[in-house]
Amino acid sequence: MFIGHFAPAFVAAAAGPRAPKLGTMFVAAQLVDWGFFVLAILGIEKMRVDPDATVMVPFDLHYMPYTHSLAGTGAWALGFALLVMVWQRNAFGGLLAGLVVLSHWILDWLTHRPDLTIAGGPEAYGLGLWNFPYIAMPLELLITLGAFVFYVRKSRGPIGPPLILIGVLLAFQTINWFGPEPTQAGLMLYIQALFAFGVATAFAVWVGENRYFLRRGGLAASSV
C-alpha cells in the first residue's frame, strides 16, 4: 500500500484543534517506510526485486525486522508519540501521531504477502491483497479519497491546496501501479521512494498551514 497509508493521517489531522497538523501526520503515516529505506541504504534491512513476489508489486521484502515487524513498528510509534508530546506539549496529539504510525503495519498486513513478522521471527503474516488487484486498487482509492473528503469537510480554508495535494498523491499512485517496474533494488530505487515521501509530505505541510478547525461556539482555531 502506498497512498492508502495517508488515509489515517487525514482522519487523525481532522480530529480537532488539538490534533497535529497534516504534515506531522504524513510523516507519521510513512515513518516506518522512511526508516526502512534509510536502513536499506545502509545495508541493514533488505529487499530485492522478484517479479513473482505478488501480482502488483515485484518486491521481496525479505529482511525488515526493525521497521515492519509489529514490535518494530510499535517502537517507532512510541518514539514518535513521545516526540510529538514533548515537541508540541500535546499528549492527545502525541497519542494520535503514535496511532497513525501503528496503522502502517495494519494496512501493510492487508496488502503484503506474508513478509511481516511480530518481532522479527520466522513466522510471517500478510493477507496478500496485492495478488488481487481488483480488490487492492479500489480499496486503496476508497480509503484514501474517503479520508481526504473527511479532512476537507472537518476543516476550513482554501480548497485549492488540498486538491493539489490529492492530485499529487493520485499521480504518484498511478506511476506506482502503471509505471515501468524496476529491474533491481538499489540506491536509486531507495532515493526515489524517499523523494516521493518528501514531496507528499511537503505538500501536506502546505495544506496543513492553510486549514483551520472550529471550536465550540464557532471560534476559529488552527491545529497544533
How far is Cα 56 from Cα 60, in angstroms, rounded to an integer? 12
The pLDDT, as a whole number, for residue 213 is 82
The pLDDT, as a whole number, for residue 83 is 98
Helix axes of 160-178 and 187-209: crossing angle, nearest 10 degrees: 160
The pLDDT, as a whole number, for residue 224 is 60
Query: Strands, DSSP E only, in 91-217?
Result: 212-214
Count how many residues are written for the chain: 224
Instruction: Return all residues near 195 (Cβ < 8 A) that are at least 6 apart.
Output: none
Instruction: Return all residues near 218 (Cβ < 8 A) that are at least 6 apart.
Output: none
How far is Cα 68 from Cα 63, in angstroms, rounded to an integer? 9
The pLDDT, as a whole number, for residue 88 is 93
The pLDDT, as a whole number, for residue 1 is 80
| Per-residue model confidence as pLDDT tens digits over 8-63 | 999 999 998 899 999 999 999 999 999 999 999 999 999 999 999 999 999 999 99
> Taking Cα atoms as reference points, which of 56, 189, 35 lies closest to residue 111?
56
The string over 59-95, giving b where at least 16 C-beta atoms fall within 10 Å of a residue's C-beta and e elsewhere, is bbbebbebbbbbebbeebbeebbeebbeebebebbbe
C-alpha 96 chain-centroid distance: 14
Domain boundaries, given as residue ranges, for the chain: 3-222
> Taking Cα atoms as reference points, which of 166, 136, 132, 133 lies closest to residue 149?
166
Whether the Cβ atoms of residue 74 and residue 102 lie closer than 8 Å to each other: yes
Q: What is the pLDDT along the chain (224 residues), one digit of tens a residue?
A: 899 999 999 999 999 889 999 999 999 999 999 999 999 999 999 999 999 999 999 999 999 999 999 999 999 999 999 999 999 999 999 999 999 999 999 999 999 999 999 999 999 999 999 999 999 999 999 999 999 999 999 999 999 999 999 999 999 999 999 999 999 999 999 999 999 999 999 999 999 999 988 665 444 455 56
For 16, the 3-state DSSP assignment is coil
The pLDDT, as a whole number, for residue 170 is 98
The pLDDT, as a whole number, for residue 215 is 61
pTM of the model: 0.94
With cell 498523491, the residue in question is 169
The pLDDT, as a whole number, for residue 105 is 98
Instruction: Return all residues near 151 (Cβ < 8 A) that are at least 6 apart.
Output: 10, 11, 13, 14, 22, 162, 211
The pLDDT, as a whole number, for residue 217 is 46
Half-sphere exposure of 207 (CA within 13 A, CB side): 30
The pLDDT, as a whole number, for residue 221 is 53
